[in-house]
Structure 1
Amino acid sequence: MDTITKEQRSRNMAAIHSVNTIPEIYLRKLLFSKGYRYSINFKKLPGHPDIYLRKYNTAVFIHGCFWHRHEGCKYSSTPKSKVEYWNKKFEMNINRDRVVKEELKNANVKCLVIWECSIKKMRKNPEFCSEILSVITEFFKSQNLYMEL
């Protein structure tokens, strides 16, 4: 059973954003400071990537560990109430992610998925941040079509 009122739950859920999240803004500022230019929520590609770098033909998605079910991550817990509802919702998200990934691959667009937990770790640890940034930079220039961080 839920421990807060229906109105409080509604306010909590309304406060969750799907665009311009803290991890997205952090990564955008980091990329911009390194000289990368991009489009935000690019509507012309499947899945409307959070960031699209036209020069590198790369779609970047910043996935929330909870919503996109990052396997083995402490942030991807399952709520104890309305389990059937949540499992259905999570399954729909996973299927949509799979379809978007396949559509981007078929369109020959590179796809980079960065998990929320990686962004959190980047924000706390400057060495990890520069390491991940190097990996991202290499991916932009590589021929690989898909990578997750």
Structure 2
Amino acid sequence: MSLIRGTGSAPEMKLRRLVHGMGFRYRLHVGELPGKPDLVFPSRRAVIFMHGCFWHRHKDCKLARLPKSKLDFWEPKLEGNRERDMDKQRRLRSLGWRVLVVWECEMADTDHVSSIVREFLEEQTEEK
């Protein structure tokens, strides 16, 4: 597990390039916010998390299947990740931040992801 990248993974880099190409500017992994979101848009009070399907237990996703061995290790570990994610999102929302989660498997359809991201970020602008 020490070889798993916490930041700068291929899906995260793909998302960053996509969002930057759409003309949005962001800050990376702001430590003062719960969960250090992957992309932070301070003026829009918006954050985006890029979640790997396996590590964050994407419901009904083929990439999120449990390994067949060491279930007594993997089940509580991955469930703990999922619970921690929900807590971080709850805390961010309570601080007035809007939260969007983009899943690794969704990055296969960048047109879909770009429309979701654009709608999410432009909604922030309209609320001001």
* Structure-1-length-normalised TM-score: 0.79
Greater relative contact order, per chain length (Cα 8 Å cut-off, separation 6+): 2
Give ranges in structure 2 of 5+ residues lacking alignment: none
Give ranges in structure 1 of 5+ residues lacking alignment: 1-12, 123-128, 144-149
One-letter code aligned to 2:28:
I
Deviation for aligned residue 1:15: 2.5
Question: In the alignment, which residue of structure 1 is the partner of 2:80?
Answer: 92
Mapped partners of 2:16, 2:113: distance in 1? 14
Matched residue of 2:37: which SS? coil
Question: In the alignment, which residue of structure 2 is the partner of 1:33?
Answer: 21
**Rg comparison, structure with higher value:** 1
Matched residue of 1:68: which SS? coil
Aligned pairs for 1:45-124 (under 5 A) are: 45-119=33-107, 121-122=108-109
Mapped partners of 2:77, 2:43: distance in 1? 35
Dislocated runs of 4+, deviation >3 Å? none
Deviation for aligned residue 1:134: 1.9
Check if 1:142 corresponds to 2:119.
no
Deviation for aligned residue 1:135: 2.1
From 112, 122, 126, give the equivalent of 1:131. Answer: 112
Matched residue of 1:105: which SS? helix
* Structure-2-length-normalised TM-score: 0.91
Moved more, 129-138 or 105-114: 129-138
From 23, 26, 37, give the equivalent of 2:11. Answer: 23
After superposition, the C-alpha distances for 1:45-81 in whole angstroms (9 at most, x for unaligned) are: 1000011011211111000000110111000010111
Mapped partners of 1:116, 1:20: distance in 2? 13
One-letter code aligned to 2:115:
S
After superposition, the C-alpha distances for 1:124-146 in whole angstroms (9 at most, x for unaligned) are: xxxxx223312211111226xxx
